[in-house]
Chains A and B, each alone.
Chain A
Amino acid sequence: MPDTVSSAAPPRRLSRRAALRPDRLLAALPPFEPPPPAGLRAPDAAVLQGGDPALPPLSVIVYNRLAFGPRPGDLAAFNALGGNDDARLTSWVDSQLNPNGISDTNCDNLLAGAGLPSLNKSLPQLWADYYVGNQGRTQPINDIREATMLRAVYSKRQLKEVLADFWHNHFSVYAWDYGYASATWVHYDRDVIRANLLGNFRTMLGSVTKSTAMLYYLDNYINQVAGFNENFARECHELHTLGAENYLGVVNPLTVPKENGVAIGYCDNDVYEAARCFTGWRVNNGYWGAPGNDGSFYYQDGWHDKANKLYMGQYLPSSQASDPLKDGNDVLDLLANHPGTARFIARKLCCRLISDDPPQSIVDAAAAVFSANTNAGDQLKKVVRAICLSAEFKAAWGQKFKRPFEAAAGMLRATNADCSNPDNSFWWYYESAGQPLFARRSPDGYPDNKSVWANTTALMQRWRFANILVRDDLGNVTVNLLGQMPGGLTTPNQIADFWIARLLGRAMDPAANRQEIVRFIAQGVGYDNPLAAQDIADRLPHMVALILMAPDFQWR
């Protein structure tokens, strides 16, 4: 296309200004050449430079990436943890990495009072009550959905909540299946994901592999020697351990190079061999010769393919039948110890905790910690600690976008909203933004990447969520903004500055954006003139929503 009008000075700003100023509109339109930028409104320089945001205080980074955003008082508490940023960060991270040492009474009480009957039931109880019994197959998934939102909003164990979300999406299961997953979801959330998220990866992988929900979701519960089902075996390699980056495709396995005796990556033949290794790993579901019906993992010897296998360059002889689970355990051992898995998990954690495109230095460092601790009971805690305390963590900002879950929980936290018992209306609004919890259909989990989420629907829906929240229409969620504002704040400058600090924990960036907030609450009054109480009451919710809608609130 010829370069005809492209030499234009910043076109978007001009048109935007004009759109906002009807009185300027006709003047700004014809001819179809860029009108001169001057004169519409001054000053504009700072606004025109709006780009990647500056690094905010470390407390803001911590609470927006290692938590679901700050609640009132969180940032001040962080700043009181030590004499400098490093000391504060170390103190905070170490505390968060020992979640049981954090008193969480308020959240515990809310959960206890929320009427979530399945929350403390064992797997056999869940199976008996909700799968076999008639107490509602979706009760456990509904309970965990609510518990997950309550914890994100109220729990002081924020890093644990962030990691629970991470691992749920890593070992993603569509949990609204009206079957094995929905009925046992408490087990998957509590005993499989949360029990291991600061523990050992191999243990977690084994727990996932043997879980009722995963066995069912990826079809391993029917995987048998008569004809293997490769669904779980394939995704276990591609999504759970080595990652697609180590998938070599349809190649002759004998041509795959080895490192320390192990294939450097996996090919289709390895998927098939692994599927054979997992034959007979099923659910004790009362059918097909199962000895019981309690929903637990069950190995069925008659379903297991005992012939020898060649997997990732390893020979698994038929004699392994003396330890019938050894075939499958060998696969999981190899995967959990493979350097490709260390790199894949390390990069994914760094993407979550630092940036969509994390520096290779921290990925390598985290992978090294992962590999050096494959037998450690706190392997994953060590990996997460290395990432959170890294220079790369402290230096990154503004390259991640809050996804709908983080945005919604963040708004509820920032406004100190009461969402202690969210109803269907709340969930309808929340889920419209495109990230209903535990509802990703495909096994890859929700992406954690701005290129997927920074789209018109995700933004429109969170803006809408903010508007509906502040006017108390978000189902039975309530928020009292006036009551949270110290007395004596009456001028536009005072009110705007209080709420910018409260909700964002820092000045707006670019600084000129603050003017929009002040202008909005002022509505033509002098910025240092007191507003009438009724005007404050009328405008405050919409001003607060505006801050929640601002770019500053969306970064991670």
Chain B
Amino acid sequence: MPTTQRPARRFTRRQFLQGCSAAIAAMAGARLTHVAYADPTAPGSYNEEIMVVVFLRGGWDALNVVVPIAGADRGYYEDAREELQVPANQTLALNAQFGLHPALAPLLPLYQAKHFAIVHAVGLTYDTRSHFDAQQFLELGTPGQKNTPTGWITRHLESAPNLPPTILLPALSAGSTQAMALLGSTEAAAMSGPNGFNLSGHWHWGDPQRAALRELYTGANWLYEAGTRTLDTIDLVEASVTGTYTPANGAVYPNGSFGDNLKAVAQMIKADLGLRVATIDLGGWDTHENQGDEGGGYLASNQLAPLAQGLAAFYTDLSNAACAQDYTRKLTLVVMSEFGRRLKENFNHGTDHGHGNAMFVLGGHVNGGQVYGNWPGLANAQLYDGYDLAVTTDYRRVLSEIVSKRLTNPNLATVFPGYAGYTPLNLIQGSDPVTPPVLPGPHRLFMPLTQTGGCS
């Protein structure tokens, strides 16, 4: 397990928090100024990359998302999907072989700008068609093993050698529950959004009540930990997030919790609290019936359209012409789901649980504009269990490349224990760290995200 010493980081985070708390901010003014500057002796030795994982709950229909448009596979696809097939000439051409579902049009400019890559026939190399098993395996990062006590992102945070010890809010689950990928993390917050994230305390008695609450939640136990983390998050939000959030560049998020959650993540990224990983869920993909014929209907308008609109808005919101303020240069966003759906449509104009899947990877250092992976084909003999798109790329290979190249955490064996299959697909720019970097000392101060970051 990781060799890092969490108390070290925690301690300094707590100290910084004191400086943040609005109630004492005035007294700590000098302190805040101090903290606002990075240690000048070793600038840039911290990793400042941000990873956002969007999980599509229910198993999205990858074959109608990244659609085969040519060759024999188009024929197999049309044979199997008499009703549901997306007409080839309506798809958005990705290359000679695949077209993107037309409802994802808002993402096409990112593909063309090479900020958006697709991996096809990717997924879990474990035999399950269970939603809940598959989600657990993926998020715990241990296929076949469900009692792993921590999620893969938790283990990344614990083993990353290059996060500032004073980092304040390294991980956020947008929504009301904490993602399983962050299981066991004592430094992740769950939040639907910063606005309203407060105790609604009395104008006079609220402060002493809050102070007493901190005392009451002192101790070593999962509940005390959670209580302290909650109070810290309330303090952080109060000290750093004020007023209504206006997305940049005219970005318009879709209505609903997915758009709200994306917006909250963007807001928290810009609050410069050190957010490094965030998780967002979008449900509704379990389309056993009436998912929409010929590429229209439910899947197109209720699911894919808001997904694309949300991701495009998020990207737009985080972009900036001045590269030092362009958060997309530090961003890698992954879209994943527990499995793809069956090649053959069912009798109810839907699709049942399948296997092989597609992942999206977006970000400033993505070698986009390409479809990655080893396409297995859709002939009967090429299908998994005779039914489904096969998995030819382990999902951990994609995530490992992000962890390794962008988050520069070399401890892949900790993040994905038992997985030895990593070689880069080269869908991400950067190089794999060979050895763990020399670690910074304990006196490092928080480095605002905007201060460095490559404009490569």
Contacts and interface: CB of A to CB of B under 8 A. Distances in A.
A454 B222 contact: yes
Nearest to B132: A444
B325 interface: no
Contacts of A489: none
A460 B24 contact: no
Interface string B29-55: 001000000000000000000000000
Interface in B30-89: 31, 57-58
B289 A222 contact: yes
Interface in B188-204: 188-192, 197-202
Interface string A510-544: 10010011011001000000000000001100100
A244 B226 contact: no
A442 B346 contact: no
Contacts of A244: 130, 132-133, 146
Interface in A185-240: 219, 222, 224, 226-231, 234, 238-239
A459 B215 contact: no
Contacts of B214: 16, 19-20
A250 B234 contact: no
Contacts of A523: 208
B7 A434 contact: no
Contact of A238 (B11, B27, B130, B200): B130
A464 B199 contact: yes
Contact of B8 (A4, A401, A433): A4
B240 interface: no
A252 B4 CA distance: 45
A539 B204 CA distance: 10
Interface string B124-136: 0011111111000
Contact of B177 (A25, A26, A455, A463): A455
A54 B31 CA distance: 41
Given A455-B173, A549-B213, A51 B219 contact: yes
Interface residues of B, number: 92
A325 interface: no
B21 A19 contact: yes
B131 to A, nearest CB: 7
B109 interface: no
Interface in A13-33: 13-16, 18-20, 22, 25-26, 28-29, 31-33
Interface stretch (A145-153, A163-171, A408-416, A445-453): A445-453
B162 to A, nearest CB: 10
Contacts of B177: 434, 452-453, 455, 457-458
B339 to A, nearest CB: 12
A247 B3 contact: no
Interface stretch (B269-277, B316-324, B327-335, B438-446): B438-446
A226 B348 CA distance: 10
B224 interface: yes
A224 B346 CA distance: 11
A510 B229 CA distance: 20
Given A51-B221, A463-B199, A250 B385 contact: yes
B387 to A, nearest CB: 9
A224 B4 CA distance: 56
Contact of B212 (A228, A455, A546): A546
B392 interface: no
B258 to A, nearest CB: 13
Contacts of B235: 19
A59 to B, nearest CB: 21
Given A29-B31, A238-B132, A456-B233, A11 B11 contact: yes
A469 to B, nearest CB: 11
A517 B31 contact: no
B226 A455 contact: yes
Interface string B408-438: 0000000000000000000000000000000
Interface residues of A, number: 91
Contacts of A50: 218-221, 224
B221 A464 contact: no
Nearest to B146: A244
Contact of B17 (A19, A222, A453): A19
B127 A234 contact: no
A227 B346 contact: yes
A132 interface: no
Given A6-B5, A452-B177, A542-B205, A222 B348 contact: yes
A28 B443 CA distance: 15
Contacts of B255: none
B352 A3 contact: no
Given A15-B14, A452-B177, A442 B131 contact: yes
Given A18-B18, A244-B132, A441-B283, A517 B176 contact: no
Contact of A460 (B58, B234, B441): B234
B215 A513 contact: yes
Interface string B215-253: 111111111101111100111000000000000000000
B114 interface: no
A51 B24 contact: no
Nearest to A399: B222
Contacts of A467: 199-202, 206, 209
Interface string B337-365: 00000000011101011000000000000
B250 to A, nearest CB: 29
A554 interface: yes
Interface of B: 3-5, 7-8, 10-12, 14-15, 17-19, 21, 23-24, 27-28, 31, 57-58, 126-133, 146, 161, 165, 173, 175-178, 183-184, 188-192, 197-202, 205-206, 208-209, 211-224, 226-230, 233-235, 283-284, 286, 288-289, 346-348, 350, 352-353, 385, 439, 441-443
Given A26-B31, A542-B205, A551-B217, 12 more contacts: A8-B8, A20-B211, A51-B220, A229-B350, A247-B133, A434-B177, A442-B131, A458-B177, A459-B226, A461-B176, A467-B202, A551-B224
26 contacts: A1-B4, A4-B442, A16-B14, A19-B24, A25-B24, A29-B18, A48-B218, A222-B289, A224-B347, A230-B288, A238-B132, A434-B176, A434-B177, A441-B283, A442-B57, A452-B178, A455-B178, A455-B190, A457-B192, A460-B199, A460-B233, A461-B176, A468-B200, A519-B212, A551-B216, A551-B224
